Structures are given as C-alpha cells and as structure tokens.
Structure 1
Amino acid sequence: MSESDRECAFRVICRKYKPHILMVLVQIALTFLYFLVEASFDNGMNPHVFVTYRHALGAILVFPFAYVLERNVRPKLTMVMLVKLFLISLLGVSLTLNMYFASLKYTSPSFVTSMVNTVSSLTFIIAVALRLEAVDVKNPRGVAKVFGTLLSLGGALTMTLYKGHAIQRLKGTPIHMRGHSVHNHWMKGSILTVVSCITWSFWYITQAILVKKYPAQLSLTAWVNFMGAAQSAVFTAVVQHKPRTWSIKSSLELCCILYAGVICCCLVILVQLWTVEQKGPVFVSMFNPLGTILVAIFAYFIFGEQLHVGSVVGGVLVMVGLYLLLWGKESDGNYKSRGQSSSTQKNEEKESTTHKGLNSPDQHEP
C-alpha cells in the first residue's frame, strides 16, 4: 500500500470515528478538571466562587458566537421565556453545581464521577413519573430499562451508605494532592452528591422541554452560563461575607478557573452539541462511565488516592446498570426512526396518489 493510500485510509477512519474520538477527548478533559478542582479546593478556593467565575467566563466566551451565528434563528425574548431561562439556570447551575462541587470537597473524584452515572437512571424515573417515557415490560429492552435503573440506584446507595475496607495505597505515586481530614465529612459529601444528581436529572427534563421552544443552542448556553453565574454570585455573597473569598490566591486557582471556563463551559459543550446532533444523546451519555474509569485509574495510580471496597463495588453496579438502561433506551431511538420513516413514506405515497388523481384524465374541473 502506497503512502497516499495509507493517508486516505487514515482520513476515512478518522472521519468515521470522529464522534468517538471527540467524546473520548471530552472525558479526558473532564477527568483533568476533577483533579484541578480538587487541588484548588485543597489550596483554599471556595467551591461557590469557582462556580461563579467558571460560568461567568463561559458566558463571556460563548456570547459572541451565539450572537453572530444564531441571530436569525434566535427566538424573541419575552418575559415568560426570561422566567423559564432563570428557572433552568437556577436548576442546572446554581443548585446542581454548587452542591456538586461542594461534595467534591468532602468526598473524592472517584466517588463523585461514579455517582454522576446515576443521573441517566434518575432522569428515566422522573420521565416515567411525568409520563414522558414509556416502559413496555413485555419487551426485553423494556425489562432492561427497569432492571438497569434499579441496579444503578442500588450501586449509588452502596457507594453512599457503605464505605468498606480501604484498598492499600500504591507506594511511590508521583503526585499527592490531598490530606485525609476532608473524609471525616464523607456522609455530608455523599448527601450533597445525591441531591445534586437529583436536581441534575430535573434539569435534563426541563432542558428537553425548553429546547423545543428555544432551539438556538448556543444562545441558550450563553443565557444559562450568564444567569447561573449571577445566581451563584448572589448565593456566594450571602453565605460568604468575607471579601477575600473572591480573591484568586494562586496560579493554580487561576488555571483551574480558566480551564473550566474555556474547556468545559465552551469547547466541551460545543463538542457535545455537535455529537448529539450527529449521533444522538444516548451515544453521548454512553461515554460517562469512561470518565469514571479514567478518574479511578488516575486517582489510584498517579495521585495515590485511597479507594474503598464500597466505592468499587457500587461503581461497577452503577456502570452495569447504566449500560442496561442505555441498551433498553436504544430501541426508543430505532422505533422513532422507523416511525418517522414510515410516516414520511406514507405522506409521500399519499401526496403521490393525490397528485396522480388530480392529473388523471377521468377527473373533471368543477
């Protein structure tokens, strides 16, 4: 095979697996964020200040692209829409992320990323309760949805309520990022993580409803970042009365804020939006367990973090349950595709029949 043929084959493979490669890069980027955030919190950065700065920077960076690229498709901003944007920002940023990153201060990246995998199961339960999701228990995929949801939630409860024996640390790990005092509040951090996952699930439900009425995704991202930052700033000002809380004390904290704002609030969101458009939301969510595995590997082998049996067992249950749920959900997408294709085909046949009837020589004009 010649050099040009190899290059052509390589381009074809990259084009075919571009969504897969991008989602792996997204999970790697998010993995580094967890450890940057953990190190910054150990250095004294306030979690609520971090959330405020992160989304303020994200809003500033996304706004120009949203303004230019979506000026013709952005719907008119009414008072009702403004209230909806305020509520979705409150649910998706102010409540969820403030609790989520606060829980990271009291637990560990491995625990937090494992718990995030339960968001899909919780979203499924809420959607069923609101009759936004159908479950056919006579279908194997329908049974997989139910069993996967229960298994995932069982794993989450295992990680929350059962810590278990500590797995021996590796000696001579290159980096040590935290002390042990924060683990005295493990239960507090676990509760914060669980509640943040519940609000995160509600946010997905409200987001799915709102995006139909506000289809400009970049503009919606800019609004959520802006309002979320403003709400988080007000909350931080109420709970933290010391002005020095807002100061950035080290280059590590500055790097963490810049990384989160530029990479996670801008590039990651854009990549996920593109991948959802190309492959659908199920494809994107299937890569979340990869982030859990990457964090666990980095935490144990590089940063010398202590793992517990409860976290490992619970994490495995969560990932198995998640993939069962996703396998069951895959039939929904196929069914919708077939339904849309069938509907389109019927409409085309109907239009064709009508067209033929109108042009038939037996037809007379009135």
Structure 2
Amino acid sequence: MDQEIGDEFRIGIMNIKKETIVEDLQPYMLCILSNILFAGYTIVSKVCLDGGMSRYVLAVYAHAFGTMATALLALLLERKQATKISLQILRNAFFNGLVGGVLARTLYFAGLEYTSATVGSAMSNLIPPITFVLAVLCRMEKIEIGSRIAQAKIWGTCISFGGATLITLYKGAVLIAPLSTHSHHIQAAAKHLTYIDWIKGSIMLFVSSLSTAFFYILQAVTVKKYPAPLTLTSLMCLFATLLGAIFTAIIDREASSWRLSWDITLLAPLYSGILVFGVTIYLQTLAVRMKGPVFITAFGPLSTLIVAIVGLFILGEALHLGDVIGAVLIVGGLYAVLWGKEKEKQKKLLLDLPTAS
C-alpha cells in the first residue's frame, strides 16, 4: 500500500516537472518558430522578386492576404476584447498602413532586389536600435547620459549603425562561395548588379527599417488606446492594401503584372500574408505577453543566420567579408541596446518595490 502511494507521488511529481519544463520552454519555442517563419519569408520573397514579380504588386497581395488572415484570427481570439473603434484609431491605422505597410514593405522588397537576402535580414536587426532613437526623440524613453545603462544603449546604437554603413559601402572578399549548383539562373540574374545598385539597395533597406520603427512607435501609442493587436494589424493591412493598390495602379499600368500563377508568385504573397502577418505576429504576441518585448527581440539574429545558410544552398548567394563583419557589428550593437533595456527594466522594478517600514 505504501509502495503504491509512493509510486503515485513520484508520478505526480514527474508530471508537474514536465508541465513546468514545457511552460518554461514555450516562449523559447515560440520565438524560434517565429524567426524560422520570418527567415522563410525573406527567402521566398527574394526568389519571387528575382523571378520578375513587381515589388509593388507583391506588397499589395501580401497585405491583402494579411488582411484576411489577421481578420480571421482577430474574430477568433479578440472577439471578447472588441470595443468601438474611434476615428483616432482609424487615423493611426491609416498611417500605420502607409508607413509600416506601403513604404516599409515596398522598400524592403526593393532593397532585396538590389542586394541579397542575407543583407536584407541583417539590416532588419537595425529596427530595435532605430526604435530606441525615435523613442528618445519622441520623449517616450528617458535617458541619463552618465549612467552605464544609457551608455550601453547609445554605444550599441552607434555600433549597429556602423555595421549597417559597412554593409552598405564595403563588400570585401568572398568568404564562402555559393554552394548551390541548381541556382545558376539566380546567380546570372544577379551579375548585372553594380556597386551603385548595392549601395542603393542597402539605403532602401535602411529606410525600410526606419519606416518599420516609426510603425512600432505609432503602434505602441495606438495599442494603449485599443488593446487588440490582431485587430489593429488587420486594419493596418487593409489600409496598406488599398493605398498600395492605388499607388501600384499609377506606377504600373500593365494588367499582366497582377497575374498570379501556381508557382512562387502565389506562394510569396500567401506566405507573407498568412504566415508572417497572421501566424508570426500572433506567436510574437504570445511571447511578448510571457517574457516581454526585449526577450523576443533578442532572437532576431537567428533569422539572419538561417537566411545566410539557406541563401548559400538555395539562392546561390556568396557570403562576403563585409556582410559578416557588418552583421556581427549590427548584432553586437543590438544586444548592447537590449542589455541596457533589460537592466533598465530591472532597475525600475527594484524602485517600484515597496520599502520595508
């Protein structure tokens, strides 16, 4: 009898431990999965653009599918949170669609055309440092120049911008040649790109990161007034679809540009709309609720690593010395900013603790 009770107790303890381990690992798995999905988005978009699809049309279709995916998720997951949408919320969603959707996404696709998937993914790691600078300028972030935490964030931002500048101006020697033997058509298409094209593409990627940072600042203000991120994302995608369609109709009047086939031209907008705007944003929302925004941002370089490896095998992209050094500087600066943010958060929690009487 005692042995049976002891066995049941041990089994119960083991089940509790398993549940605890699963709960502890959950935010890590969510972050890893979301970065894998985002890396896939960069690769698929690059292949689609190299195949000749218009960057403007791709952005419109991506936001159209994103509108449907996020609207469905919002209906399922945020129905109880639904409150009346004011004109101010609609106005913010409109500007988010313009800045974070049309401008950021189109420039990102354009930058990918002129550079490589690895550079595009590496430049995305600039978004947290740029967001920090904008937050300081908008007085959303306070900074004490003399403190070690502030200096870490300032130097981290400077190092990240230095890495971006290096990627833009310097390619250097080829460290690893393309490993793919079946992607010669992509390599041939990339040979006509000049050094000026590379600089132009890098600048476009930088401005795309700047636009995305503006989007996050405005989104942070909006979500405080309307705490339903999926609904806001759906509205942003809807406005981006409408604005992008008007913009594309003015620039590209060829009806054939809008044609989708059962190949990468359909997969890319579907992937971007459903898996990025829908699934990835939802996974990141869950992770932010569990561990906060600093935790999830720290996994960003994982996406860059995945894109660099996949790019060698599938896209046939060579890895240059400038890419590696620049990416290391960007990631190093990113972690300095994140370290400062985390220490600042811990300091604030200590100050908020009630003092013993």
TM-score, with structure 1 as normaliser: 0.87
Q: Which runs of 5+ in 2 are unaligned?
A: 1-6
Moved more, 252-261 or 99-108: 252-261
The Cα of 1:171 is off from its aligned counterpart by 4.8
Equivalent residue for 1:306? 318
- The aligned residue for residue 141 of structure 1 is 149
Kindly indicate whether the alpha-carbon contact (under 8 Å) linking 2:100 and 2:211 is maintained by their aligned counterparts in 1: yes
Opposite residue 311 of structure 1, the aligned amino acid is D
**Who is 2:45 aligned against?**
37
The answer as to whether partners of 1:177 and 1:303 remain within 8 angstroms in 2 is no
Is 1:117 aligned to 2:129, yes or no? no
Q: Deviations over 1:267-310 (max 9, x none)?
A: 10100111111111101110111111111122225543112211
Query: What are the superposed Cα offsets for residues 224-243 of structure 1, whole Å, 9 maximum, x if unpaired?
Result: 11111111111111111101
Aligned pairs, number: 345
Q: 1:289 aligns with which of 285, 301, 304?
A: 301
Give per-residue Cα distances to partners, 1:46-104, cap 9 Å, x unaligned: 11111111111121122133235434433322333322221121111011111111111
- Which SS does the other structure have where 2:193 is aligned? helix
Task: Map 1:269-348 onto structure 2 (within 5 A).
Answer: 269-342=281-354
- Kindly report the root-mean-square deviation, in angstroms, between the aligned alpha carbons of the 2 structures: 2.4
What is the SS of the residue equivalent to 1:167? strand
Q: C-alpha distance in 2, partners of 1:206/1:62?
A: 19
Name the CA shift for 1:171/1:94 in 2 (closer, same or farther; >3 Å).
Answer: closer
Unaligned stretches of 5+ residues in structure 1:
350-366
Q: Which has the larger displacement, 180-189 or 276-285? A: 180-189
**Paired residue for 1:230?**
242
Q: Deviation of residue 182 (structure 1)?
A: 5.5
Aligned pairs for 1:83-98 (under 5 A) are 83-98=91-106
* 1:197 equivalent in alignment to 2:209: yes
Q: Which moves more between the two structures, 108-117 or 186-195?
A: 186-195
Counterpart CA distance in 1 for 2:93 and 2:311 is 37
TM-score, reference length from structure 2:
0.89
1:25 corresponds to which of 9, 27, 33: 33
Number of the residue aligned with 2:114: 106
CA drift of 1:27 comes to 1.0
Contact 2:99 2:211 in 1 (8 A): yes
Residue 167 of structure 1, CA deviation: 2.8
SS at match of 2:318: coil
Question: 2:3 is matched with which residue?
Answer: none
Map of 2:72 onto structure 1: 64
Shift of 1:173: 4.9
Provide the residue aligned with 1:355 in structure 2: none
Give the superposition deviation at 1:314. Answer: 0.7
